[in-house]
Amino acid sequence: MTKYMTKESLFEIQSIANPVLAPNEQEAVFIRTHINEKENNYNAHLFHIDLESGEITQWTYGNERVSSPQWSTDGKQVAFLVKRNEKQQLYILNRRGGEAQEITTLPNGVNSFLWSPCGEKVWITSTVKKGLDITKEEEKEDTKFPKAYVVDKMKYKADSVGLLKQDRYSQIAAVDLATKEVNTFTVGNYSHSLQGISHDGKTLVIGVNREENTDNVFRTPLYLVDVDTKEETVLIEEDGYFGGVEFSFDDRYIAFGGSDNTFRNATHGHVYIYDTETKTTQKLTEMLDLPVGDYGVADIQQGVSAPSVMWTENNDLYFQVSTQGDIRLYYATLEGALYPASPENEHVYGYAIFKNGNRALLTVSNGTFPGELFDFDITTGERKQLTTFNEKFLNETTLSEPEAISYTSNDGLTVHGWIMKPAQYTEGEKYPLIVEVHGGPHTLYANTFFHEMQLLAAKGYGVLYVNPRGSHGYSQEFVDGVRGNYGDGDYEDIMAGVDYALENYSWIDESRLGITGGSYGGFMTNWVVGHTNRFKAAVTQRSISNWISFYGVSDIGYYFSEWQMLADMNDVEKLWHHSPLKYAANVETPLLILHSERDFRCPIEQAEQLYITLKSMGKEVGFVRFPECDHNLSRTGIPNLRLERLEQITGWFEKYL
């Protein structure tokens, strides 16, 4: 019997991600994540696949989340991270089976790890309190006599973390697998990250910033460190974000991903190559006016972690590129040849490359396909589906097929997006249309599966979602086009999309338009209802309403405002001009405000200001607060509250549309 998408479909859809190829290239592991309805949480388990026979075996079970699987160099073991007691620790499984062995029992657990190629030790990072050894337990805080939190820096809190412990640092250590002895490798009151290791095991790449105060420092230098002598060589130390280091098979070249600070956080990601012989670095993708990496937004894939770049044995490279609404696998040579290696109209959200470069394992999604694991022949384009975890759901559920559109905005800019008909569409009927606006703003809607969009279509709405200026995946000029001018060209792009839809799709009822979005999409929803009365209902989520207060209350406010608005507290006129709160008196659209109470990115006071202001003016407004949740409620939030959020959205539109 055919059914339509419901909010409870979240419990049926499974996320297949993070394929890791074994050294023998005859087998692989991957992670399957699903929502555990009974426990109201997420379970992520390790699976093994024999690539020749196609046989799939589940390797871990229970109410837990496994992450970061890595094969040992000899292919006999797989290490992974999982929280089985209080802290996340390192475990190792023998590929022939048996119980996973707990390798670490560190008081603060393990944050990340890398196998040493010798197979006898594993490099790890763990959080350490100032003055303590990595293996020493901290004194338990007395909850009866809580301590005050003294703030002396501007970077003192973070979304999904809370207040930062100022005297804690991430240190690198080596764990001897035979004895389980932990030997600290780094020292000093600075946080260190593990970025990569050479195939001969002699060189680590670490990230560390040794500035005393990093409030206005936006770089983490990468260093090559000799494992024996600890001698450091700078790999890169410019402003921006760099990481995901991979050594070529011959250890001559080091590839890494990153973006400099030219356009602040709107700068395109690129692939960089360091030659250890000539000691020179080149930006391999300089001629590509697209961002390297996966900037797609969706709500199904869980715990996705794809490599920044992967080498072949011939010193060619593969990496992801966000382009025109796709996330594609790209191929490059050191000489500068560069072209897409996977098809259009899909989202490659995970990959593993065979050494010869002719074959890959891919996890792939599209607008009507949540994602599975595929074996992909890069030379012929043929692919074989290896997993069918979502087959039952797909066979039973009627979905709406997103149709790609492009149109011209008011100033001649071409904007790309999608429109979905209601899932039970009947020719000749009229239907309401809901406009969705993504966050970021430097992300993109993509050719990927979106439960929320399908749910709205199942409820009888058309759905329009577009990539206005500020979105990734087009050009550097396009993604930079919103900075300093939120609510201008981006607003025009969205409204031009509405006009395009009304002109070209006669099934849309112009008198029943709705709009919703989160984060930047929440800002834009607030802005829209303050600047037009065309929408009959709106739902704003985790939004910004007041740039002046956002500057001081957001975990990133003091620099994000300067980067994005090109204004700080010395120019409150500009901050206020771009604040939706300024235009509250104009709002005539019934507005529902949804916000998480632990959102430190766009703190809940942004919602509180907007709600009280609109309510005091006698406007039609609702406000729903979600306890225990942060900025990522819609994607990774507590499952029952994700359902409540969807119910609130659909209920509001049902009431007013």
Asked if residue 98 has pLDDT above 90, the reply is: no
Residue tagged active-site, from 519, 543, 549, 596: 519
pLDDT for residue 8: 98
Residue the block writes with tokens 């599209």: 366
Residue range 27-39, pLDDT digits in tens: 999 999 999 999 9
**What structural domains does the chain harbor?**
238-387 (2.120.10.30), 398-656 (3.40.50.1820)
Are 418 and 400 in contact by the 8 Å Cβ rule? The answer is no
Whether 164 has a pLDDT exceeding 70, the answer reads: yes
pLDDT at residue 29, as a whole number: 98
Instruction: Write the pLDDT tens digit of every residue in 54-67.
Output: 999 999 999 999 99
Residue type, 231: E
**Is position 519 annotated as part of the catalytic site?**
yes
Sign of CA dihedral 190, 194, 197, 202: positive
Residue type, 258: G
Longest Cα–Cα distance in the chain: 76
pLDDT in tens, 5-28: 999 999 999 999 999 999 999 999
Long-range interactions of 75-83: CB distance < 8 A, separation 24+:
75/22, 75/23, 75/24, 77/119, 78/20, 78/29, 78/46, 79/103, 79/113, 79/115, 79/122, 80/46, 81/110, 81/112, 81/113, 83/109
Cβ-count burial of 339 within 10 angstroms (0-12 exposed, 13-18 middle, 19+ buried)?
exposed
> pTM for this structure?
0.97
- What is the pLDDT averaged over residues 584-594? 98
The DSSP symbol for 580 reads: G
Percent of the chain's residues with pLDDT above 90: 96
pLDDT band at 366 (very low <50, low <70, confident <90, very high): very high
- Reply yes or no on whether the pLDDT at 143 is more than 90: no
- Interval 41-46 mean pLDDT: 98
Instruction: Estimate to the nearest angstrom the gap between the alpha carbon of 299 and the chain centroid.
Output: 10
Buried b (16+ CB within 10 A) or exposed e, 524-558: bbbbbbbebebbbbbbbbbbbbbbbbbbebbbbbb
pLDDT attached to residue 2: 80
Q: Report the candidate in 624, 588, 618, 436 with the shortest Cα–Cα distance to residue 514.
A: 436
pLDDT recorded at residue 166: 86
631 among known catalytic residues: yes
pLDDT attached to residue 1: 58
| DSSP-based three-state secondary structure for 520 | helix
Closest by CA position to 473, among listed 272, 302, 328: 328
Beta bridge partners of 80: 91
Pick the catalytic residue from 48, 270, 438, 631.
631
CA distance 523 to 97: 51
* Tens digits of residue pLDDT in 508-561: 999 999 999 999 999 999 999 999 999 999 999 999 999 999 999 999 999 999
- CA 540 – CA 22 distance, rounded (Å): 45
Per-residue pLDDT at 139 exceeds 90: no
